[in-house]
């Protein structure tokens, strides 16, 4: 879990910008999605990051929770 929190904290600003400004079929967007899946796997204990659907990152409430988690909000992490 700590590994996921650190990665999210260190990279959130870049990932958020990519998610909100980059074409969803671009390599940057797809790379960001893959990196976030791995981080969420580390945070939540999901067995395989491929179980996290790509459209998970389209939901504003999920992005808000990730941003809060990046700032250390324990409730958002839970």
Per-residue confidence (pLDDT) for residue 19, from 0 to 100: 92
- Residue 67: the pLDDT is 92
Q: Domain range holding 15?
A: 2-77
In order of 43, 47, 48, 63, 67, the CA distances from 60 in angstroms are: 19, 24, 23, 5, 11
**Exposure letters 3-42 (e unless 16+ CB within 10 A, then b):** ebbebbeebbeebeebbeeeeeeeeebeebbebbbbbbbb
Q: How many domains does the chain have?
A: 1
Q: How does pLDDT run across 11-63, given as a tens digit for each residue?
A: 999 999 999 999 999 999 999 999 999 998 888 888 777 788 878 888 999 99
Outline where 45-73 has alpha helix (H). Answer: 60-70
What pLDDT is recorded for position 1?
79
DSSP code, position 57? G
Structure-token match 């659907």, residue found: 53
- Between these two residues, 3 and 54, which has the higher pLDDT value? 3
């Amino acid at each position: 879990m700590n590994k996921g929190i650190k990665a999210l904290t260190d990279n959130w600003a870049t990932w958020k910008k990519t998610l909100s400004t980059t074409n969803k079929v671009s390599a940057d967007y797809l790379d960001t999605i893959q990196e976030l899946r791995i981080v969420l796997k580390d945070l939540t204990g999901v067995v395989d990051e491929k179980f996290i659907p790509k459209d998970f990152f389209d939901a504003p409430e999920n992005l808000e929770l990730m941003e809060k988690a990046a700032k250390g909000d324990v409730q958002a992490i839970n």
